[in-house]
Chain A
Amino acid sequence: MAVAKNKAQQPDAARRPSDKEDDTKAKDQTASPVADLGKDQELAAYRDMLLIRRFEEKAGQMYGMGLIGGFCHLYIGQEAVVVGMQMALKEGDAVITGYRDHGHMLACGMDAKGVMAELTGRTHGYSKGKGGSMHMFSAEKGFFGGHGIVAAQVPLGTGLAFASKYRSKDNVSLTYLGDGAANQGQVYESFNMAKLWGLPAIYIIENNQYAMGTSLKRASATTDLSHRGAAHGIPGERVDGMDVRAVKAAGERAVKWCRDGNGPIILEMLTYRYRGHSMSDPAKYRTREEVEKVRSEHDPIEQVRLRLLQKKWATEDELKKIDAKVREVVNEAAEFATNDPEPDPSELYTDIYA
């Protein structure tokens, strides 16, 4: 913890270009002990992550049944990232991400029914059925989408930070992007402007090791993505994205850094997606053993579950009850999304201009 804190306070503290050295340092950092959450927070994290997991499992199932179409990118395995980050936010903060967005929306407090109904393309989906899995928004919850073009959300998120500063607010903007997205040019154009103008932008790189079938190593000259702001003097931190406590702690440090007027910061979340890139995935680029190992040894939800039991903050029975409640929410959402009518044909021509 202390190490990481120092880093945030000394953005210029030598970020070396040598990848090897960086990697070692980064590992130390993720291995450092993290502060435990309180009972209520652990229970909340458990419930919130479980909601995402069950929701995504259901979405996968409904896709298989033909109720959801097109691209559908599931968030299973990465739940701790959005749930931990959300714990660090306050009213008025903005969130924006790419197409793997269902978890982000649920974490932002968007209604499971509205999200699922958008997945099925129905009237009461968040975008009236017009956006689908990749394009949902909630002005009310400060969620700005849901974007399909890899990394296009990064300049947009930087603009959200610009607006916050312009209005002299202390709100931050959270921009999520993938490890693959981190190679796009507009990311670095954004970094430069964010630092130049001291914008309260937190860039969260969800490094799940793969961009479709391409591993990080095969696409990136340097693989410690927390250093990607080095050329612009933006501090970065590598975080165990499977541990919700570590995510929350890093999130709080980053948010404070921004609210205090220090400009942008990067958080690289080491995480993993259990499922294919989208529903159609040849799955030939990694072994089943690799997936199984992460699942059995680092599952973000299982970690919380074990802690809750160990500390006797919950019994098996109580956890089962939470699970049952979550399932109920998800089943209701699925039911709603299946029976909600398709949008009225007249909607084809609405919302093109104000």
Chain B
Amino acid sequence: MPIQVLMPALSPTMEKGNLAKWLKKEGDTVKSGDVIAEIETDKATMEVEAVDEGTLGKILVPEGTADVAVNTPIATILSEGEDASAVSETAKEASKPAQQQKPVESTPPAEPKKAPSAAANSPQLQAPAEPDVPEGTEMVTMTMREALRDAMAEEMRRDPSVFVMGEEVAEYQGAYKVTQGLLQEFGSHRVVDTPITEHGFAGLGVGAALAGLKPIVEFMTFNFAMQAMDQIINSAAKTRYMSGGQIGSSIVFRGPNGAAARVAAQHSQDFSAWYSHIPGLKVIAPYTASDAKGLLKAAIRDPNPVIFLENEILYGQSFPVPKLDDFVLPIGKARIAREGKDVTIVSFSMGMTYALKAAEELAKEGIEAEVIDLRTLRPMDTDTIVASVKKTGRIVTVEEGWPQSGIGAEIAARVVEHAFDYLDAPVTRVSGRDVPMPYAANLEKLALPTVADVVEAAKAVCYR
């Protein structure tokens, strides 16, 4: 039986890729481990290796083919004595392995990945017009990744004291390709690759900021910023206070935060509540590319240390972004993403995908949810939340992080302090489960909040 070589996946969320190059010809002998082809996506290149010995029988997908679906047979390998005529037979069985793998591929974060195509009519567009954008402004569609890159590039052009530093930010173009092209435009003087020494380079960044530079420190992910926690909190957040206002640090710490797909307990967690605890820090966690761009520019200009929490799963999603020369948003202002009168749903970052979808579901059942995107976690826009609760009398908070002392807990306290008499139901939190993130696909799904959880909570506070 000839052996099929299937189009491999580079990541659990990859659905298709380009067949860049064949390195072997039909009829070439191959042995286990030989590189036979190269495939690529916008993010990475991967070598396809032969896993068995034999002869490359037939190339089923020629080089240069774009958008080849994962698990499509791309070639066959014949073992001794077989000839290429056996090929057509196996090609027929092609769909089989793909079907077997279906259940495993449906890991939960794949769900929001589908959003880009639907971006044009995505729910946030039904929201009231962005007050920060002048009416009639042209909108362009871009990914979160591009918006972040543009924000950095614009600020670097504007202010020569802004520089970027982190692991793999320069030559590699960013572990998640957020700094793509920056090295080419600004050179290695301003786009600096560091060793894997988070505590060291975070502290070095703060030191440079004390001396007046404006560093953007990228953490490959915020999981690794825990190594640097002391410098972020004890040095960056407190120096202005300790020096009686003489010396502060204008620095941005940014990178992906929150749950990623199938990377288990040490690489998949939400630090929103941690940083939002600290006086002296500002904390931003955008959901849309537009907010990300406007707020990252604001963060870079801000004279204080700012923690800028991105989300890996949102990087590839597209959103409309205003086409303006200098689009800067105010830090500390929430955004009403959808207006409603029956129940308030408050969320931020990735949590917004659940909140907005839930609002759509609820609308079908006649419940008009008002969805608030916090955008900034510290300072928190209490006024916007309280005003909404005074209107709806009910509130559900949504976050991927753990429940105890979480963002939802903070919101609950503020609502009780400022709008207790307006509440018609207990404040209800939807959060990640109170467990470390498991690896197994089914458990990971159970550990994260779902749209159904939000719908259920909203109905419960509406007594429906």
Chain A residues close to B by CB (< 8 Å): 53-54, 57-58, 60-61, 63-67, 69-71, 76, 118, 120-122, 127-135, 147-151, 180-181, 183-185, 211-214, 218-220, 274-276, 279-285, 288, 295, 342-343, 345, 347-349, 352
What A residues does B435 contact at CB under 8 A? 348-349, 352
The 10 closest A-B pairs by CB, nearest first: A64-B8, A132-B439, A69-B262, A70-B262, A121-B440, A129-B440, A148-B266, A213-B172, A183-B195, A69-B12
Interface residue B90 (Cβ < 8 Å from any Cβ of A): no
CB contacts (< 8 Å) of A347 on chain B: these are 438, 440, 443
B223 touches A276 (CB 8 A): no
Question: Bound state CA distance, A219 and B264, in angstroms?
Answer: 28
Residue of A nearest to B437 (CB): A130
- Known A58-B51, A70-B12, A219-B195; judge A122-B104 contact (CB<8 A): no
Q: Within B129-185, which residues are at the interface with A (CB < 8 Å)?
A: 167-168, 171-173, 175
**Which residue of B is nearest A122, CB measured?**
B440
Which of B39-47, B207-215, B343-351 sits within the interface? B39-47
Q: Tell me if B263 and A130 are in contact (CB < 8 A).
A: no
Q: Are B10 and A279 in touch, CB under 8 angstroms?
A: yes
Report the minimal beta-carbon distance from B17 to chain A, rounded to whole angstroms: 11
Q: Give A121 to B435 CA distance when docked, in angstroms.
A: 17
The docked-state distance in angstroms from the alpha carbon of A69 to that of B260 is 11
Once the chains bind, are A132 and B264 in contact (CB under 8 Å)? Answer: yes
Q: Is the CB of A343 within 8 A of B223?
A: no
User: B12: which of A66, A127, A135 is its contact (CB, 8 Å)?
Assistant: A66
Query: Known contacts A67-B101, A184-B196, A280-B44: does B266 contact A147 (CB below 8 Å)?
Result: yes
**CB-based contact B447/A65 at 8 Å:** no
> Which has the most chain B C-beta neighbours within 10 Å: A64, A127, A212, A349?
A64
Select B446's contact among A67, A148, A345, beta carbons within 8 Å: A345
| CB under 8 Å from chain A, chain B span 406-464 | 433, 435-436, 438-443, 446-447
**Overall SS of chain A's interface:** loop
A283 interface neighbour in B47, B224, B440, B447, Cβ under 8 Å: B47
Q: State whether A343 touches B49 (Cβ < 8 A).
A: no
B246 proximal to A (CB < 8 A): no
Interface residues on B, range: 35 or more
With a 10 A CB-CB cut-off, give which of A54, A65, A212, A281 has the most chain B CB atoms.
A65
Residues of B within 8 A of A64 (CB): 6-9, 70
Given contacts A61-B51, A211-B196, 13 further A-B contacts (CB under 8 A): A69-B262, A70-B12, A70-B260, A121-B262, A129-B439, A131-B264, A132-B264, A134-B266, A219-B195, A345-B446, A348-B433, A349-B435, A352-B435
Q: When each residue 49-60 of chain B gets 1 if its CB lies under 8 Å from chain A and 0 otherwise, what string results?
A: 101000000000
Taking CB as reference atom, which chain A residue is nearest B53? Answer: A323
Nearest A residue to B197 via CB reads A183
Using A135-B264, A149-B223 as known contacts, say yes or no to A129 and B443 having CB atoms under 8 A apart.
Answer: yes
Q: Are B224's CB and A282's CB within 8 A?
A: no
Q: Which residues does B use to contact A, with CB under 8 Å?
A: 6-12, 32-33, 35, 43-47, 49, 51, 70-71, 97, 101, 104-105, 107, 167-168, 171-173, 175, 193-197, 199-200, 223-224, 226-227, 260-267, 433, 435-436, 438-443, 446-447
**Quick one: which of B9, B10, B44, B441 contacts A121, CB cutoff 8 A?**
B441
- Identity of the chain A residue whose Cβ is nearest the Cβ of B446 in the assembled complex: A348
Report the minimum CB–CB distance from B106 to chain A (whole Å): 9
Closest residue of chain B to A118 (Cβ to Cβ) is B439
B332 to chain A minimum Cβ distance, whole angstroms, is 32
Question: Which of chain B's residues have a CB closer than 8 A to the CB of A279?
Answer: 10-11, 46
Contact A63 B8, CB 8 Å, known A69-B107, A135-B264, A149-B227: yes
CA distance A134 to B32 in the complex (A): 25
With A66-B70, A135-B439, A342-B442 already in contact, the answer to whether A57 and B32 are too (CB < 8 A) is: yes
Is the CB–CB distance between A181 and B443 below 8 Å? no
Given contacts A57-B49, A69-B12, contact A282 B44 (CB under 8 A): yes
A73 to chain B, nearest CB (A): 12
For B220, the closest partner residue in chain A by CB is: A212
| A134 and B43 within 8 A (CB) | no
* Contact, CB under 8 Å: A149 / B263: no
Once A122-B440, A148-B267, A279-B10 are accepted as A-B contacts, the answer to whether A65 and B71 lie under 8 Å apart by CB is yes
